[in-house]
Structure 1
């Protein structure tokens, strides 16, 4: 029976002598969903009616009937609270009607349209619920193939998240029912491998989940170009428009939207990162209100105007911060990112290449660069974001307070970011010991940095450290969690110092969690070592050493994460070209950075 032949008025109809149809809940390309009453059991149900297009051929009709029955069987096999329950299948008018559990609520698409975008935490909760359903489905050999916001229902009673519409699901062992050369699904949520006509696996559904998370916080689907062909082409070839509202969810989104399914986050990695976002502490609840502008209060002196450096102050005792509360990995956040300079300066020639087949552009810092640059510096920013979630418990701890400013300005202004210690603070142990007679930077006190080095201070990320003379800050790390320093050419070696204000409890464990994303998103990654360490009496310290290829340059990285007190965790990452790791210059850089680093929080 074609659509033209089907009854125009179905409301009030009794199916199988039992199900009384009421109002229409929704219509799609292949059917209508009705609210109905099961008069036998006295409960409200949903009934999905299969409707055939006009002038349909018999072969196509049989295919649609088979698809509908397959949907019912697929849902029935998934025993999970996030999937609807199928009660019955009724055969009337030579077509199947599926009777299922009724979910009172809105679709995710309606929620974001009517009620506003989801917070990263709520989006992570929705994503985790969908991931749970997909895990059960994949174990049963079922690929959903149509994960998108309009197919996710959120119950108005208890907030329960339900994945619906397995109408185009692929069930292992069943013959294909899709016409040859045809691709079924929503273009923005179709994975690159499906768009290329390759056989999909569970990773294809995870791509769609990444698109769903993106749409939940951005309000628009990823890669949407207005037409199916243009969108599918973008899915296969273009870089993702960096999300603006994702916060700690950014890592999961980029990891799930990796174009190469082999580089994509798997269920376990996605689950861990989503849980990190969900359980991250709420910062806003802890912030005290700002006092009135005319109130009397104590505060640190602001940095004085830039001038000629007067020398470097003494270092504080090596045990500074000892006995402070331990935490989970220093800002491990971007410590493994080695991110090139942001918009304030050009990327170094040794910027790394993308880690996946599509040359995916990871991170909002790259949004303003040309496509060719995006393809080159692609992967590194996501590494920082991934570690921010793994090591900072997904808190997004305020490292983006100066978002939108240039790299130099965001570190305390171009004039204040890289000053000797007296210039940045002017009080305490860092003041009063320098050369106040206008001496040059190289006129250092006895315990100052070695020859060829000068002390720089960063007020935004609360540290000072001695670096080679002439070095400058070239940018901020990918998630805005720290500062990157290099020579005038912007190449190697580099020093990156990151700050977290939400420490955890185990630096080594934090590094191990972060390693999952780094390994997936790096070229030629190889761990050298990862183990707890003892340093300065800090309660948790861990050294993570590894090699990888950035661009075409093999590099070696030492990343030390540590906690100085209950509100400050740091990571010092030193990157040298791999074949120069044991050279005097790189060895001296490592020793000097660790010997002279001082937290200023």
Structure 2
């Protein structure tokens, strides 16, 4: 065998090893509830959509990844949509802060629509690609895509606090069951995972809604997550995941942020 042939063979092996190494890093270094960047069908997401679950594509976590058993799913076969146009309103509310959080928090509609009665420093974000609008703190922008293009992650700089919204057009019928199944995987994949609760809750008149609350270690800090998955109708399921540093969970910023998110969320056609 010539030296040139041997050299090409060695080069091919080096390239193959590099590719395998990159895939391993990609698979195990993500931020999602399961700690993986792209977990596909069984990944963990940050919200409980048609199949709630946490998984992530880049640094994100999918909120609706529990297959057909829950409210919203990040499974590409469950009707992922390409990321569409996003716009943020320029106005901000002048009202006072919302009430403190807790189980069942932010369960009503905001009278007059998402823009009515916003706290100071909030603006309505409309995401046509993932079919929703919601009020978020001004300065929040889309910093990543969740799962396999299942949703969008919003924050100031890619850190915490953050809001993730996932969408599916094939929602399941039991959000709590979907979260419970997904939690089994997330427990093993997320460093320092501690489950707080998985509860069926009332949220507007949606047919199935469940909250999944847990803590984990992420980006070098202790993070607390509330992941709400729900089915709006036969064609729309969502997961809204709120993540904050655990020691700031009951502080005014994170409490107001999650209350306003649940109060002002509006599904779009």
Gaps of 5+ in 2: 1-10, 29-34, 36-40, 43-47, 95-111
Aligned partner of 2:5 in structure 1 is: none
Aligned partner of 1:482 in structure 2 is: 151
Aligned partner of 1:26 in structure 2 is: none
Match of 1:442 among 77, 85, 92: 92
CA distance in 2, matches of 1:563, 1:579: 31
* Secondary structure class of the residue paired with 2:88: coil
CA distance in 2, matches of 1:565, 1:386: 17
* 1:585 correspondence with 2:248: no
CA distance in 2, matches of 1:478, 1:393: 6
Larger Rg: 1
* Secondary structure class of the residue paired with 1:531: strand
Change (3 A) 1:547 1:443: closer
CA distance in 1, matches of 2:65, 2:116: 38
CA distance in 2, matches of 1:331, 1:545: 17
CA distance in 2, matches of 1:393, 1:443: 33
Question: Does structure 2 conserve the Cα–Cα contact (< 8 Å) formed by 1:388 and 1:479?
Answer: no
**TM-score, normalized by length of structure 1?**
0.34
Match of 1:238 among 13, 18, 21: 21
Aligned partner of 2:231 in structure 1 is: 563
Structure 1 residue 473: Cα displacement: 1.2
Structure 1 residue 389: Cα displacement: 7.4
Residue pairs, 1:337-416, within 5 angstroms: 337=55, 339=56, 363=57, 365=58, 387=66, 391=70, 392=73, 394=75, 396-399=77-80, 401-402=81-82, 410-412=83-85
* Secondary structure class of the residue paired with 2:170: coil
CA distance in 2, matches of 1:385, 1:462: 14
Match of 1:468 among 137, 140, 154: 137
Structure 1 residue 534: Cα displacement: 1.1
CA distance in 2, matches of 1:538, 1:385: 16
Structure 1 residue 545: Cα displacement: 0.1
CA distance in 1, matches of 2:171, 2:164: 18
CA distance in 1, matches of 2:148, 2:25: 12
Structure 1 residue 471: Cα displacement: 1.4
* 1:501 correspondence with 2:220: no
CA distance in 2, matches of 1:538, 1:441: 29
Structure 1 residue 385: Cα displacement: 8.9
Aligned partner of 2:54 in structure 1 is: 336
Question: Does structure 2 conserve the Cα–Cα contact (< 8 Å) formed by 1:418 and 1:472?
Answer: no
Question: Does structure 1 conserve the Cα–Cα contact (< 8 Å) formed by 2:151 and 2:167?
Answer: yes
CA distance in 2, matches of 1:541, 1:465: 18
Question: Does structure 2 conserve the Cα–Cα contact (< 8 Å) formed by 1:559 and 1:574?
Answer: yes
More strand by share: 2
Q: Deviations over 1:483-523 (max 9, x none)?
A: 11112x33210001111111111000011111122222211
Question: Does structure 1 conserve the Cα–Cα contact (< 8 Å) formed by 2:64 and 2:238?
Answer: no
Q: How many residues align?
A: 224
Question: Does structure 2 conserve the Cα–Cα contact (< 8 Å) formed by 1:528 and 1:546?
Answer: yes
* 1:510 correspondence with 2:178: yes
Structure 1 residue 230: Cα displacement: 8.4
* 1:550 correspondence with 2:268: no
Structure 1 residue 480: Cα displacement: 0.9
Structure 1 residue 447: Cα displacement: 3.0
Question: Does structure 1 conserve the Cα–Cα contact (< 8 Å) formed by 2:153 and 2:165?
Answer: yes
CA distance in 1, matches of 2:65, 2:54: 9
Structure 1 residue 524: Cα displacement: 0.8
CA distance in 1, matches of 2:135, 2:64: 27
Change (3 A) 1:384 1:572: closer
Structure 1 residue 455: Cα displacement: 0.9
Q: CA RMSD in A?
A: 3.5
* Secondary structure class of the residue paired with 2:263: helix
More helix by share: 1
CA distance in 1, matches of 2:93, 2:246: 33
Question: Does structure 2 conserve the Cα–Cα contact (< 8 Å) formed by 1:495 and 1:572?
Answer: yes
Question: Does structure 1 conserve the Cα–Cα contact (< 8 Å) formed by 2:50 and 2:175?
Answer: no
Change (3 A) 1:518 1:389: farther
CA distance in 2, matches of 1:514, 1:564: 21
Residue pairs, 1:513-528, within 5 angstroms: 513-528=181-196
Gaps of 5+ in 1: 1-224, 244-253, 256-262, 264-271, 274-328, 340-362, 366-376, 403-409, 421-439
**Higher relative CO (CA 8 A, sep ≥ 6), structure 1 or 2?**
2
Aligned partner of 1:529 in structure 2 is: 197
Residue pairs, 1:43-192, within 5 angstroms: none
